Structure 1
């Protein structure tokens, strides 16, 4: 966490002026500045009308301290004037530091995995041997009921297609070379309908 430190500027005073004439009338400004030029001829002024403040910069710290001692809470044009030493606030480092790396893994995509992170292993696939055994026993034309019907749900039945060749769909590998391969059915092209001339438009 950044540490907030406050440092007092010994060469600069801030005057809290409630008299609005100091900011509007040159005559009032001249009489206001004459109060501080008696302590330091090289004094500089900065007016902040919206804040009703005047920053007074001295060339000597002793002159600023003496002006603060003599003019603080004195009367100026019928209003009380207060003087304070200007303060500079320093918060942490003068440069913007990058964020701490302890939570950077929340950024997508993560720059690097967090400490202790490990790749999760995929689970082994589950093989239903009962289902494989039941399917292997099915032959052409047989049916296998997967789910029986209930009053609210229908039954689920698997029908095995018949073999068009009239033989087992999975012949032995030993007889495969001896038996001639059956000819595939030729795809008959769909006949185009006859053209009948219609009425001329």
Structure 2
């Protein structure tokens, strides 16, 4: 574990950070373009590091102009870094850095805590302390029902008087079915019959 240079204050939260003490890989930065395009230059580049470890493997990242060199042991990686760092290769200075492995807290990727799992629809399980809400009792305005019951067909009852800025609220009682239909004469009148459209005769396939 690498110790920080400055001691943390007592009131500050500390984070458990672990570094690999002896890395077994190097990162080559600002690698020349021919290393990615010319097979001969690429072979020469790999030969530099295989002189320290014959089983070294390489990962080329052309977009970033970087190459990761993986060694079998940390001693070979350290020796290659000491001897080849800032050396000249294909007319450019070669820069090598150790590939540090950083772990915060735990070296494993832990799943998130299910603190807000109840937000998933449908929820996997209700949160702690959650209770089913009871439906409220409907509000019945008995005064309104009493006033309407005293009204006759066609009469109205004003709930709220209108103001210059708001309209009035008035309840109208529907007329009886007999009054709205026009009396007994309308009941005796026969209802019109709906005549369906006749289907055309089928003439059959045309003869050629």
> Does residue 128 in structure 1 map to residue 142 in structure 2?
yes
SS of match in other structure, 1:59 = coil
Structure of higher RCO (CA pairs closer than 8 Å, 6+ residues apart)? 1
CA separation of 1:51/1:147 partners in 2, compared to 1, >3 Å: closer, same or farther?
Answer: closer
For 1:24 and 1:154, the matched residues in 2 are separated by 84
Q: Is the 8 A contact 1:40 1:58 kept in 2?
A: yes
Give TM-score scaled by structure 1 length: 0.55
CA separation of 1:53/1:190 partners in 2, compared to 1, >3 Å: closer, same or farther?
Answer: closer
CA separation of 1:123/1:80 partners in 2, compared to 1, >3 Å: closer, same or farther?
Answer: same
Q: Is the 8 A contact 1:143 1:157 kept in 2?
A: yes
CA separation of 1:46/1:124 partners in 2, compared to 1, >3 Å: closer, same or farther?
Answer: closer
User: Going by fraction, where is helix more abundant, 1 or 2?
Assistant: 2
> Does residue 12 in structure 1 map to residue 22 in structure 2?
no
CA separation of 1:64/1:155 partners in 2, compared to 1, >3 Å: closer, same or farther?
Answer: closer
> Does residue 26 in structure 1 map to residue 50 in structure 2?
no
For 1:17 and 1:154, the matched residues in 2 are separated by 80
Offset at 1:4?
7.7
Offset at 1:62?
0.9
Encode CA deviations 1:128-168: one digit per residue, 9 max, x unaligned.
Answer: 268548847x8xx99976349x999798776997xxxxxxx
Structure 2: stretches of 5+ with no match in the other structure = 1-15, 177-186, 193-208
Partner of 1:199: none
Q: Is the 8 A contact 1:8 1:86 kept in 2?
A: no
Partner of 2:157: 146
Q: Is the 8 A contact 2:23 2:99 kept in 1?
A: yes
> Does residue 39 in structure 1 map to residue 22 in structure 2?
no
Offset at 1:66?
0.8
Q: Which has the larger radius of gyration?
A: 1
1:40-119, aligned counterparts within 5 Å? Answer: 40-90=53-103, 94=108, 97=111, 100-101=114-115, 103-114=116-127, 115-119=129-133
User: Going by fraction, where is strand more abundant, 1 or 2?
Assistant: 1
CA RMSD between the two structures: 4.5
Give TM-score scaled by structure 2 length: 0.53
Please identify, of 87-96 and 53-62, the stretch whose mean Cα deviation from structure 2 is larger: 87-96
Offset at 1:75?
1.6
1:161-172, aligned counterparts within 5 Å? Answer: none
Partner of 2:179: none
SS of match in other structure, 2:26 = strand
SS of match in other structure, 1:40 = coil
Count of aligned pairs between the two proteins: 162
Offset at 1:12?
1.5
